[in-house]
């Protein structure tokens, strides 16, 4: 019998969330971000649920090839581009587009004469991660214009703080920088991640790049996914595999970090940090038992965690436990654990079985 933990992926929620993106950015084309195995949701099944999107964006070349060989004809953009001239033949063969963010890539393109490639030129407007400086941009555009193997050009940047309501000035500075240095070029542009799609409609441009909102999590600390009319796509669930009755003073788990102050009943669920649940999630992190809200107790182990069953009527081994998703937003678990929903979703272990459903 297989271990009972599983991640249920709701395709209907994915298509719903794509509709919400379109409502926020009705005039822009959408590049659905599928990096990191579609944020842990499974690349090809996620792509299937989003098959009507305008294009896909990801980092991994093998994943891009998998999308193309599966039959997707939309533009596919590699967000870090190519890393060697050897990869350019694959970009040509599978008709992939590339982000260009450093001069070495421009030099590689000048040496490769067969391919007509679409490129997104990334401009560093203040995040200082990837991209050409504003001073470099005119020369880079000139070089690419003169390269007859460049099919089309899009200009792009990335906002460092669009998810922070107190950082509106930062977004404005980056937007002003981008507009100032690109206004003389008549190229399409791509600026907005999930947070900017929602909060900064003036940044939508021609292509938006939703990531976390597609998967039903909020990019903001002050707004829930429900506030944004987003539906959870992944529900991580397991089952109770053991039950214990505690006396006053009994301790739970490694180092006895939780001590019973009154007689209690606890359940052990088949889920731990080796499954991707955060080891640093503290006592009181919420869980659902048979659709009743309860809490985590003590330290999360590699394969198991302890749950308070004291107030749960008729709890027994085999009962369902929801760790995050439907009824327990992943954003809430992330807040208790001092991390982000991005990390939790992307960190789901390969050993967790994923079940793909069109509806719950």
Give tens-digit pLDDT for 137-157.
999 999 999 988 899 999 999
**pLDDT number for residue 149:** 85
Whether 290 contacts 317, CB under 8 Å = no
**Annotated binding-site positions for substrate:** 129, 302
Report, as an integer, the average pLDDT of 350-358.
92
Whether 12 contacts 46, CB under 8 Å = no
What does the angle CA 124 – CA 137 – CA 127 come to, to the nearest 5 degrees? 5
For the cut 90, the answer to whether the pLDDT of residue 113 exceeds it is: no
pLDDT category at 62 given cuts 50, 70, 90 is: very high
Hey, what CATH class is 234-357 in?
A: mainly beta
Hey, what CATH class is 11-215 in?
A: alpha beta
How far is Cα 213 from Cα 226, in angstroms, rounded to an integer?
Answer: 11
- Residues of the chain above pLDDT 70, percent: 99
Whether 352 contacts 5, CB under 8 Å = yes
- DSSP for 156-180 reads E---SSTT-GGGHHHHHHHHHHHHH
| Tokens 């089309």 sit on residue | 152
> Where along the chain do its domains lie?
11-215, 234-357
**Is residue 35 flagged as an active site residue?**
yes
SS3 198: helix
**Is residue 183 flagged as an active site residue?**
no
Mean pLDDT, all residues of the chain: 96
Structure tokens given for 264: 């209690």
**pLDDT number for residue 359:** 54
Structure tokens given for 350: 């390969």
Report, as an integer, the average pLDDT of 110-134.
91
Each residue's pLDDT tens digit, 200-231: 999 999 999 999 999 999 999 999 999 999 99
| Least confident residue range of 36-40, 129-133, 144-148, 183-187 | 144-148
* CA distances in angstroms from 167 to 35, 161, 170, 196, 318, listed in the order given: 26, 6, 5, 12, 47
Each residue's pLDDT tens digit, 63-84: 999 999 999 999 999 999 999 9
Each residue's pLDDT tens digit, 10-33: 999 999 999 999 999 999 999 999
H or E segment to which residue 120 belongs: strand 117-122
Residues 6+ apart with CB under 8 A from 226: 329
CB atoms within 10 A of CB 123: 25
SS3 261: coil
pLDDT category at 360 given cuts 50, 70, 90 is: very low
For the cut 80, the answer to whether the pLDDT of residue 195 exceeds it is: yes
Residues 6+ apart with CB under 8 A from 349: 274, 275, 276
Select which of 151, 254, 316, 358 is catalytic: 254
Residues 6+ apart with CB under 8 A from 288: 294, 320, 321, 322, 327, 328
CB atoms within 10 A of CB 354: 17
H or E segment to which residue 151 belongs: strand 150-156
Each residue's pLDDT tens digit, 301-339: 999 999 999 989 889 999 999 999 999 999 999 999 999
């Amino acid at each position: 019998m297989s271990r009972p933990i599983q991640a249920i992926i709701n395709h209907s929620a994915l298509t719903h969330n794509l509709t919400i993106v379109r409502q926020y950015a009705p005039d822009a084309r959408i590049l659905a971000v599928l990096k990191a195995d579609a944020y842990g949701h499974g690349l090809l099944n996620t792509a299937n649920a989003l098959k009507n999107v305008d294009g896909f964006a990801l980092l991994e070349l093998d994943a891009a090839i998998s999308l193309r060989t599966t039959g997707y004809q939309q533009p596919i953009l590699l967000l870090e581009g190519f890393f060697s001239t050897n990869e350019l033949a694959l970009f040509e063969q599978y008709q992939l587009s590339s982000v260009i963010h450093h001069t070495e890539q421009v030099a590689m393109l000048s040496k490769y004469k067969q391919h007509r490639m679409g490129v997104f030129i990334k401009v560093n407007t203040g995040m200082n991660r990837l991209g050409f400086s504003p001073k470099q941009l005119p020369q880079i555009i000139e070089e690419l214009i003169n390269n007859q193997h460049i099919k089309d050009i899009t200009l792009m940047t990335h906002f460092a703080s669009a998810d922070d309501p107190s950082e509106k000035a930062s977004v404005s500075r980056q937007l002003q920088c981008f507009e100032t240095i690109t206004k003389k070029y008549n190229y399409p542009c791509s600026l907005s991640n999930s947070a900017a799609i929602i909060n900064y409609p003036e940044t939508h441009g021609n292509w938006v790049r939703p990531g976390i909102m597609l998967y039903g999590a909020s990019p903001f600390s002050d707004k829930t996914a429900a506030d944004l009319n987003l539906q959870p796509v992944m529900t991580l669930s397991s089952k109770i595999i053991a039950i214990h009755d505690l006396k006053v003073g009994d301790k739970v788990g490694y180092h006895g970090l939780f001590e019973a102050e009154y007689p209690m009943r606890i359940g052990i669920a088949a889920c731990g940090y080796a499954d991707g649940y955060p080891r640093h999630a503290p006592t009181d992190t919420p869980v659902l038992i048979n659709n009743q809200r309860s809490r985590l107790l003590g330290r999360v182990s590699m394969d198991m965690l302890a749950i308070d069953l004291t107030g749960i009527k008729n709890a027994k081994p085999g009962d369902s436990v929801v760790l995050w998703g439907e009824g327990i937003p992943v954003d809430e678990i992330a807040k208790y654990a001092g991390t982000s929903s991005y990390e939790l979703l992307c960190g789901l272990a390969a050993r967790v079985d994923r079940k793909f459903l069109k509806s719950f």
